[in-house]
Amino acid sequence: MKIAIIGAGALGLYYGALLQKGGQDVHFLLRRDYDALTRHGLQVFSINGDFSLPQLKGYRTAAEIGPADLVLVGLKTFANQQLRELITPLLHETTQILTLQNGLGNEEALADLFGSQRVLGGVAFLCSNRGEPGTVHHLGAGRIIIGEHQPHDRQRLERLATTFTAAGVECRISDDLKRARWEKLVWNIPFNGLCALLEQSVDRLLTVPACRTLVRELMLEVIAAGNAQGLAKPIPDSYADGMLEFTDNMGVYKPSMQIDREEGRQLEIEAIFRIPLSYGARQGIAMPRVAMLATLLEQATPGAAATPR
């Protein structure tokens, strides 16, 4: 299978590396790491065992990659205005598009541009960071949940899950992609938001009882909003406790939004905060703590405010 990776950050590099190591024909659209990766390959430092790819196929433009069987989208969501430009050269008649981006609204954006029949969504529970150019650090987890944006062909999901599993990625299929996205937000909203705002890693955040309580309160707001969206099965409040326990075992970990803020990059506030807030509001679900956190992040980060919708 020819796979194009669009958004070769920590997520795109890690999964792309495993897919290439597993025998797939993987092509990376690269920007800042182009020279390092095309000259020296990629080094992956992983809790599951380090490995290197001495050579990988890297390109500066999507047109150089050409049509692919699968486009894996790992772009930060604030770059979604580039989707048409980046993905159009990669399409043939049966190309599938899998977005592993954070937040809500990504499948809808892709479906509007390329048709819902092409679009698959995925939720990645992955702890990874980029290191020096040409390196990526896998610090924990890594499983993926995938589903169709609109029911079309479940067999393609099964084939894709088999491809990921053969590459060493735990991958399962969900018939309720919406629920999987809200489950991820239960973790993403409090930890990405608070860690970025306070510039503290998850372990430091959770050692303060008042902060731990706030994290759980934020999680319960997200669960309530998610359960108002017509999920096939509600998310229980106990899911928040499971996420706290999961995070306790991470050790010292900086979520991606914290790293982005520390390095002066734009934050994914719209997809991770503002769109979920709007979905909650439509169903009459108040999320005051989530709204305050989003506002504080926007005020603390010049230029971070969401574009009016």
Task: Please choose, from the candidates 221, 218, 250, 223, the residue with its C-alpha nearest in 3D space to the C-alpha of residue 239.
Answer: 223
254: annotated active-site residue: no
CA pair distance 183, 251, nearest whole angstrom: 21
CA pair distance 284, 294, nearest whole angstrom: 19
Per-position b or e across 101-132, b if 16+ CB within 10 A of its CB? bbbbbbbebbbeebeeebbbbbbbbbbbbbee
Q: Catalytic one among 2, 178, 184, 254?
A: 184
Is the C-alpha dihedral spanning 197, 203, 209, 212 positive or negative?
positive
Question: For residue 62, what are the contacts with CB-CB under 8 A and spacing of at least 6?
Answer: 4, 6, 29, 85, 86, 87, 88, 89, 90
Q: Based on DSSP, count helices (H) and strands (E) in the chain, helices before strands.
A: 14, 10
DSSP state of 103: S
Beta strands at 57-59 and 70-73: parallel, antiparallel or unpaired:
unpaired
Active site residues: 184
